[in-house]
Amino acid sequence: MNKEEKQLSEAYDRGDLKLETPASELLDLLATAGENTFKKDKRINIRLSSHDLVGIQRKAVQKGISYQALISGLIHQYVEGDIQEKPRVNQTS
């Protein structure tokens, strides 16, 4: 645990923090967000180089997930703005 997590854990153990039951509206909102995030309702076909596919498969094995799940997760992260492109350097001739 990091320092902040340790402090929170110790405060909880001392009884300084109490857990509250989340409001049903919040639980409904989170359930809907989870369903929308993980719902796979469209299929696409893409072509990859053998080199890239093997690299993706290796990364997926390291993470313990399928390569399809890895690709899907990367696309989702990019769409949500969690993965951003590096700015291109303008090259003048």
* Residue 50: per-residue pLDDT: 96
Q: In the structure encoding, which two tokens stand for residue 37, read together?
A: 């995030």
Is residue 72 in a domain? yes
Ramachandran quadrant class, 81 (left: phi over 0; alpha: psi -120 to 50; beta: rest): left
> Strand, coil or helix: what is 84?
coil
CA dihedral 79, 85, 87, 92 (to 10 degrees): -100
- Dihedral sign of CA atoms 9, 11, 13, 16 in order: negative
Is residue 87 in a domain? no
Site of tokens 């039951």: 21
CA–CA separation, 74 and 80 (whole Å):
10
- Tell if the pTM clears 0.75, that is, is over it: no
In this predicted structure, the answer to whether residue 4 has a pLDDT above a threshold of 80 is yes
Is residue 26 in a domain? no
How many structural domains is the chain composed of? 1
pLDDT band at 49 (very low <50, low <70, confident <90, very high): very high
* Residue 87: per-residue pLDDT: 83
CB 69 within 8 A of CB 60: yes
Residue 75 sits in which domain range? 47-81
Is residue 63 in a domain? yes
